[in-house]
Structure 1
Amino acid sequence: MNRIEKLEALLRENGDDGFLNHALALEYVKAGDDGKAAALFKSILEKDPDYVGSYYHLGKLQERCGDEPGAIAVYKKGMEIAQKLGEQHAYNELRAACEYLEF
């Protein structure tokens, strides 16, 4: 059983677990399945907009797929959430990624 299969099995027991969903999305990225990864990151953020780590990874995925305006929007939303939560490290990472695209 590979990592994706293991995570999918765990999610059948606890489908709303943000950490497991995020881990699965990252595995989809590694496997080159950007469509599944993007859908999962978006689903995570719809269910839990405060899951700040998913903003960075969704933005990077959109950036890699050529959707720079979409990536910038995701980074900015993530910065807003990170600032609200007092997550300075996440805020700085999102800001750096956003500034790279804007300049």
Structure 2
Amino acid sequence: MDRIAQLKAFLESSPQDSFLKHALALEYIKIQEDGNARKVFEELLENEPTYVGSYYHLGKLLERTGETEAAIAVYEKGMYIAWEEKDMHAYNELQAAHEDLTD
């Protein structure tokens, strides 16, 4: 069974598990299924907006697909959430990615 199938099977028994959703989105990125990855990241962040690691990866995906303004918005929202959660590591990573696009 491939990793995507495994993760989907795990999600059947734990459909709200953000870690599994994040891992699934990353697997989709590995095989260049950006549309599926984006859908999973967006669903994850809609249901659990404090899962800050997904903002970075979604932003990078949007950058790669030429959606610069959307990537900037994702980084900004992620920075806000990371600041609120006092996750300075995530904040700094998001800020660096944001600055790369806006400077």
TM-score by length of 1: 0.99
Q: Quote the sequence identity (%).
A: 56
2:90 alignment counterpart: 90
Write the deviation string for residues 55-83 of structure 1: whole angstroms up to 9, x where unpaired.
00000000000000000000000000000
3-state secondary structure, aligned to 1:32: coil
Runs of 4+ in 1 over 4 A off after TM superposition: none
The letter for the 2-side match of 1:61 is L
- Determine if the alignment matches structure 1 residue 68 to structure 2 residue 68: yes
Cα drift, residue 38 of structure 1: 0.1
Structure 1 gap segments, 5+ residues each = none
- Determine if the alignment matches structure 1 residue 34 to structure 2 residue 44: no
1:81 alignment counterpart: 81
Matches within 5 A, 1:42-57: 42-57=42-57
C-alpha separation between the residues in 2 aligned to 1:102 and 1:69? 10
Structure 2 gap segments, 5+ residues each = none
C-alpha separation between the residues in 2 aligned to 1:55 and 1:94? 8
The letter for the 2-side match of 1:15 is P
Cα drift, residue 17 of structure 1: 0.3
Aligned length: 103
1:11 alignment counterpart: 11
TM-score by length of 2: 0.99
3-state secondary structure, aligned to 1:66: coil
3-state secondary structure, aligned to 1:49: coil
